[in-house]
Structure 1
Amino acid sequence: MRSTGLHHVTAIAGPARRNLDFYTRILGLRLVKKTVNFDDPGTYHFYFGDAAGSPGSILTFFPWEHAAEGRAGVGETQETAFRIPEASIGFWSGRLVALGLSPDLPEKRFGATVLVFKDPDGMRLALVGVPGIEAEPAWGGGEVPQEHAIRGMHSVTLLLKEAGPTAAILTDVFGFEETGREGTRIRYAARGTAVGGIVDIREAGGFLPGRQGRGSVHHIAFRAADDAAQAQMAERLTTQHGLGVTGQRDRNYFRSVYFREPGGVLFEIATDAPGFAVDEAPESLGEALKLPAQYEAHRSEIEAVLPAVA
């Protein structure tokens, strides 16, 4: 079974205005969709990504104004990393320091330079210098010069009690392969996938379990080319791994199924289609508040309770 890597990562944030400012202004991502949490329409759901909102570039947030702080621990996504040109590490290190974000000193992982820092809610992020990606398309609509802009997702790091059971899902269901080990970090990659093609697992037996809250990742999503591929993955999870999988849920911009992987992290399988331009022109992505059909009749009430972000 062949995977095309990560589709998106969804996390929990605090104040919506602060979240929007950080990811668009500070990190230079494009707001590609402004909608609401389908299960809690009094809360925004922001999608940030590249110019087109391509699968593998997307980081999304549920910003709850008064969310309690999460606790880092076992059974969660510890870090979300983005790709930048290798020569841009210096630019980003200087930018983050100048903005008071106190990044860690650059480190090496599997030969690449990595810059680790946190967003205002305490979410752990990283920028990974990747050679030869300067010519890749990049969003240049904000403060970050286009030559230094983020080029999609690099990887996620899972902090787990043990790697084996989760690795079996990555390799057997999603088609990843183990490609290296450094200390407690084990790397799995989707061959031929440049953007969002890496999952790292760090084993940390004996640590406290994580507690979701502000600054925590809610779930990570893997790509399925279409409904048939998604159904095949779901069936394999059930028949070969004994895991419960939800029915398909329509998220307007993709169709999803969810399951809890053996290490405790919530995984999603999301289809590539129909994409973020299904209800907005590509040039105006993220400009208007988009509501799912079931909430459109209540637009005025929903807009009245959502915090102002303009």
Structure 2
Amino acid sequence: MRGNGIHHVTAISGSTHRNLDFYTGMLGLRLVKKTVNFDDPGTYHLYYGDEAGSPGTILTFFPWEHAAPGRLGIGETQETVFRVPAGSLGYWTHRFLEKGVRHETPEKRFGETVLPFRDPDGMRLALVASPGIEGEAAWTAGEIPVENAIRGFQGISLLLENGERTGAILTDVFGFTQGATENGVTRYKVADTTIGGIVDIRSAGGFLPARMGKGSVHHVAFRAADDRAQAEMVKKLRENHGIQPTEQKDRNYFRSVYFREPGGILFEIATDEPGFAVDEPQASLGRDLKLPKFLERRREEIEAVLPALA
């Protein structure tokens, strides 16, 4: 089975407008889809990514205006890491200072230079200096120069009581390979995937459990090329790991199954197809509110309760 890495990361935010301003303005990502939480249609579901909304570039949010702040702890995605060209960290450090973005000093991890920072709701993010990606396509319609623009995810880090069983799922089901351990963190990597191909696991027993809220990652989705590949992954989860995922759910832009990995984090397996251009042209992605067919009859009601977005 070919490993594909991360499809998307979904998190919880507070203010919709503040979230939109930060990810499209401050970070220069494209709003590739404006829809609603299919299970809570009074709430937006906003998708940010590259020009085409490619798997491995997508960070999505449920903006729950009155949610309490989350608390980092065991059983949570600790950090989401974006790739930027190797010479651009100085630009980003200056930009964060100028705009008042909370950030830390650059540090070394697995031989790479990483700049950790937070979004307005406290979500833990980082930029990693990635050599040789300058020629990759980037969304540059905003104010970020192309030579500094984000090129999708490098990956995520997980904070777990014990990461051994989770690591076994990464290697057996998703095609990762276990690599080095540094400062208590074990790196898992997909050999043929540069975008979204890394998961770092920190096993830290004895910490308080995580509390979901603003700034928390709700779930992490891993890629499956199609329904057949997804079914193969589900079979391995059942037979090799004793995990029973949900039935497949149609999310319009991908088809998903969900399960809790052994450390308690919600994982999703999402198909690459059909993609975000299935209901609007790529040139106008994110412009209009898109609803699934079963909610179209409620469009007027839904639009009346959602905050207006430019």
CA offset digits 1:161-195 (Å, max 9, x no partner): 11101001000111100121111110000111010
Aligned: 1:143 with 2:123: no
CA offset digits 1:35-58 (Å, max 9, x no partner): 000000000000000000000000
Unaligned runs of 5+ in 2: none
1:134 counterpart letter in structure 2: E
C-alpha root-mean-square deviation of aligned residues, in Å? 0.6
2:194 counterpart letter in structure 1: A
Aligned: 1:98 with 2:98: yes
Q: How does 1:25-64 map to 2 (within 5 A)?
A: 25-64=25-64
Q: Could you tell me how far 1:308 is from its partner in structure 2?
A: 2.0
Q: How does 1:194-273 map to 2 (within 5 A)?
A: 194-273=194-273
- Counterpart CA distance in 2 for 1:309 and 1:66 is 18
1:56 counterpart letter in structure 2: G
Unaligned runs of 5+ in 1: none
Q: 2:110: which partner in 1? A: 110
Aligned: 1:6 with 2:21: no
Secondary structure at 1:71 match in 2: coil
Q: 2:130: which partner in 1? A: 130
Q: 1:176: which partner in 2? A: 176
- Counterpart CA distance in 2 for 1:3 and 1:192 is 7
2:120 counterpart letter in structure 1: P
CA offset digits 1:135-171 (Å, max 9, x no partner): 0000001121111100000110000011101001000
CA offset digits 1:15-49 (Å, max 9, x no partner): 10110110000000000000000000000000000
Q: Could you tell me how far 1:2 is from its partner in structure 2?
A: 2.5
Q: Could you tell me how far 1:7 is from its partner in structure 2?
A: 0.2
Q: 2:74: which partner in 1? A: 74
* C-alpha contact 2:102 2:119 (8 A) present in aligned 1: no
Secondary structure at 1:214 match in 2: coil
- Counterpart CA distance in 2 for 1:219 and 1:287 is 25
- Counterpart CA distance in 2 for 1:141 and 1:181 is 39
- Counterpart CA distance in 1 for 2:102 and 2:76 is 24
Q: 2:121: which partner in 1? A: 121
Q: Could you tell me how far 1:281 is from its partner in structure 2?
A: 0.4
CA offset digits 1:110-139 (Å, max 9, x no partner): 111100010000000000000010000000
1:31 counterpart letter in structure 2: L
Q: Could you tell me how far 1:103 is from its partner in structure 2?
A: 1.2
1:200 counterpart letter in structure 2: D
Q: Could you tell me how far 1:292 is from its partner in structure 2?
A: 0.6
Q: Could you tell me how far 1:239 is from its partner in structure 2?
A: 1.1
Secondary structure at 2:7 match in 1: strand
1:113 counterpart letter in structure 2: T
- Counterpart CA distance in 2 for 1:146 and 1:40 is 37
Q: Could you tell me how far 1:102 is from its partner in structure 2?
A: 3.0
Q: Could you tell me how far 1:309 is from its partner in structure 2?
A: 2.3
- Counterpart CA distance in 2 for 1:257 and 1:209 is 25
2:132 counterpart letter in structure 1: G
Secondary structure at 1:47 match in 2: strand
- Counterpart CA distance in 2 for 1:25 and 1:89 is 17
- Counterpart CA distance in 1 for 2:297 and 2:78 is 39
- Counterpart CA distance in 2 for 1:113 and 1:265 is 27
Secondary structure at 1:94 match in 2: helix
More divergent stretch after superposition (102-111 vs 44-53):
102-111
Q: What TM-score do the two structures reach when normalised by structure 2? A: 0.99
Aligned: 1:154 with 2:154: yes
Q: 1:305: which partner in 2? A: 305
- Counterpart CA distance in 2 for 1:109 and 1:33 is 33
